[in-house]
Amino acid sequence: MFEDFKFEVDSDKPVNGIVEKEFVRKFLLGGNCHCNIENMRTGNNFTYKIQRAKDKRNMYFVNVLSGLGDIYLGYFYVNANLIDYRKGEKGNADENDQRVQVLVWTLTNHKRLPSYVIVEHFGKCSVCGAPLSDADSSRRGYCSTCALMI
């Protein structure tokens, strides 16, 4: 009955995927990242939009998406392995906010993320926003063209 059923994937459409551990930091700091970070043990699950400042390469703005909409949390600077988060004047979360702590912890512990922490992309390159159309791009969370530049 089901022998004739074939499952086909349209390669032009982006597919969500889990970013492999070795690519998590580059993915999150791509400059145009839209992602979900989930801790399956604690149940924490946050969807982020992380954008690089246009005039400062090491400064990033962080928003979290929720049922209430797009909420600006604040910004952070990256210096080597140090993440310096700040709420700023317009921010809605200080460094003790759980949403901030999950992101900062993931960035600083990217090399040794436990298997129960999942970083998921939404099928678009975290650098240029192009659809991720091949398996390697899906594993990284950024497209092959941008992989050459990072």
Instruction: For the chain, give the percent of residues with pLDDT over 70.
Output: 90
C-alpha–C-alpha distance, residues 105 and 83, integer Å = 9
Q: What is the 3-state secondary structure (H, E, C) of 86-122?
A: ECCCCCCCCCCCHHHHHHHHHHHCHHHCCCCEEEEEC
Confidence of residue 103 (pLDDT cuts 50, 70, 90): very high
pLDDT for the residue 80:
84
Is the pLDDT confidence value at 7 over 50? Answer: no
**Spatial separation of the C-alpha atoms in residues 62 and 73, rounded to whole Å:** 6
In this prediction, residue 15 has a pLDDT band, given cuts at 50, 70 and 90, of: low
Residue ranges of domains in the chain: 17-143
What number is the average pLDDT over the span 24-52? 96
**150 pLDDT band (50/70/90 cuts)?**
confident
DSSP string, 43-83: --EEEEEEEE-SS-TTEEEEEEEETTEEEEEEEEEEETTEE
Predicted local confidence at residue 3, as pLDDT: 46
- Residue 1 CA to residue 77 CA, distance in Å, equals 57
Per-residue pLDDT tens digits for 45-75: 999 999 999 998 899 999 999 888 999 999 9
Classify residue 25 by its DSSP letter.
H
Quote the CA–CA distance of 130 and 142 in Å, as a whole number.
8
Rounded to the nearest integer, the mean pLDDT of the chain is 90
Q: How far is CA 90 from CA 35, 61, 62, 99, in A?
A: 22, 11, 12, 16
The span from the CA of 127 to the CA of 140, in Å, is: 11
